[in-house]
Amino acid sequence: METDNTKKFNELFCELEHCNEDEQRKKIGEMNEIIDGMNEEEHKSVFTTRMFNKIDKMIVEKKMSMENAILLLNHVGYCNVLKNVWNLFFEKSSLSRRFKKMIVEEDKKEEKNEKLLVDLCECYLLFYIEFPSLDLILTCVPCLLKATLKKEENDETQKEVEIALLALSRINRHYFLRQELYLKEITEIIEHQQKHRNLSQLAYQSTWKFFIYRYFNDYFLKGNIMNKLHFGREAARELEELIKCVDWNRKNGEEGGKEAKEELILLRCLQTIVVYFCICKLENEENEGLIKSIVKVLRAVKDNRRDISDQCISSLRNAAENRVVKVEYLLKGGAVEAVLEGMQRPTLNECLRFDCLQFFMNVSERLNEKVDNKTEEEERKATKRKIIDKMEEEGYEDTITSFHKTLKIFN
């Protein structure tokens, strides 16, 4: 079904091949503003294989410059990633094949067009869904990292850095990258941000996402991530800042202007924290503050954004399950109470209910561990009793019985 957004966008797109370059650039600016307001269904209805093939044909016939094509495509890719829209059409297009070929050819040149190579790498990574070749990744990483090291404070440069980092964050855990390919540069970006705070929230979050994903294949990074660069402290600070920017009374799906973008960045931040608690096994005192910040988000969101609630509870479940966080941090941070409150929400689905129960199981198992301090032991028993009472109140008697039989964690 055509909407006002898709209708206006398609009209402007049809006009592009009849414009000179300057007029075309102006129309693309209007199109990019429309893209900002599109929802997922509108994205998928407009950006089809047919459209990408049409752009490729316009480039071949010199009806659109490569510069203008990238101006449009990078913004489309940027919005796709930010809004978590999975577009499968680009990879099937002739334009995708052209970009891959151009990246390889440009990289082989002795005198490279650095800006073009950066633009092509960004555009390709922002759109890809399936796994590109490792050779292509190994070309894109140093190229984009070099682009992120710009220190100018002007808006244009910082936007370029943001897009480069967003593209890098798309390189997921399936790729093993040698530390010498990225570690020095990523460390420099993070340390510079901690000192000067010049990156946008999205850019900084994207840096951490790229770095955290490297841990899947390189466990020696844990000291860098947790102790040297202080992920727990930084993630907590980012959450605290984002909490202030969001209109928590806005219902999911309503128009929200800037607040809607901040919610998307917050969601991406939480998704990175979920991965962090899943794979990083080293305890760190800074995680106590991170738990408190996650709980604050969970209580603030209430029933308005289930996707954000899901990520909060998943992160708490992983923290309890993988023992990254001391059980005392979970108790002091209010995690138990917050998850108990979450079980009463009408938006609770089966997946989220499982995460809640898994959290309680892991916390209760850890509370059953022996401690020397009698006062602490009594506090732990009282906490376990509180969990049992609440689960009985919510109708989970069978689950409690199962826990008794299989794990004996409520004894």
List, as one string, the DSSP characters of 363-382: HHHHHTS--S-HHHHHHHHH
pLDDT at position 405 is: 46
The 10s digit of each residue's pLDDT in 310-361 is 999 999 999 998 877 888 888 889 998 888 887 777 767 778 888 888 888 8
Cβ-proximal residues to 130 (8 Å cutoff; 6+ apart), any chain: 91
Contact 168, 210 (CB under 8 A): yes
Q: Which of 74-88, 241-255, 280-294, 348-362 has the lowest mean pLDDT?
A: 241-255
Residue 245 has pLDDT above 80, yes or no: yes
Return the structure tokens found at 148: 């992120």
pLDDT at position 218 is: 84
pLDDT at position 408 is: 46
pLDDT at position 224 is: 85
Residue 403 has pLDDT above 80, yes or no: no
pLDDT level of residue 243 (50, 70, 90 thresholds): very high
DSSP state of 228: I
- C-alpha 382/C-alpha 365 separation (Å) is 14
pLDDT level of residue 259 (50, 70, 90 thresholds): low
Closest CA to 171 of 215, 214, 202: 214
Residue 252 has pLDDT above 70, yes or no: no
Average pLDDT, the chain: 87
Residue 410 has pLDDT above 50, yes or no: no
Contact 281, 322 (CB under 8 A): yes
Closest CA to 357 of 326, 383, 395: 395
